[in-house]
Amino acid sequence: MNGRCLCGEVEFKISGDLPHLYQCHCSLCRKLSGSSSDTATFLDCAQFAWVKGESLVNSYVTETGYRSDFCSKCGSTVPHLMANQKQYWIPAGLLDQAKDSEVVAHLFVDGKASWDCVCDSGAQYDTMPDMETLNRVLQRVLR
């Protein structure tokens, strides 16, 4: 499966099964996405490879460590290596064929916008669960 930014200059590929998705409703993710939430997943490093355009990726990191990587040509949010150095964060909107993917978790539900409605059966977390819990929930086969 491949993914790419809006202009197509940054492209990546994913091998193996794509984990399910989560939506984060925190204020930072709302600002990043320009919407009610940000939809994404995490992949092990071995499943991710840049195809082209990695040199076009710029980063913005807040004082608290919140990170956003984006294409310097079109501004699309793009994947980045997470702080644990074991996984990539993958924005779901960039994926070309996320077949059978579903949102299985909602993060920071306590901080969601007043106009946001969480309308599916995904697990809801008031804040951020620990990464082990979230990774387990995102797997297609629970371990």
Give the domains, in start order, of the chain with CATH numbers. 2-138 (2.170.150.70)
Chain length of the chain: 143
pLDDT, one tens digit per residue, over 104-130 is 999 999 999 999 989 888 899 999 998
Residue 65 has pLDDT above 90, yes or no: no
- Whether the pTM exceeds 0.85: the reply is yes
Q: Which residue pairs from 90-94 have beta carbons closer than 8 angstroms and sit at least 24 positions apart in sequence?
A: 90/3, 90/14, 90/40, 90/41, 90/42, 90/43, 90/48, 91/38, 91/39, 91/40, 92/21, 92/39, 92/40, 92/41, 93/39, 94/3, 94/4, 94/5, 94/12
pLDDT band at 141 (very low <50, low <70, confident <90, very high): low
- Three-state SS for the chain is CEEECCCCCCEEEECCCCCCEEEECCHHHHHHHCCCCEEEEEEEHHHEEEEECHHHEEEEECCCCCEEEEECCCCCEECEECCCCCEEEEEHHHECCCCCCCEEEEECHHHCCCCCCCCCCCEECCCCCCHHHHHHHHCCCCC
pLDDT at residue 143 greater than cutoff 70:
no
Q: Using CA atoms, how far apart are residues 58 and 99, in angstroms rounded to an integer? A: 29
pLDDT at 99 over 80: no
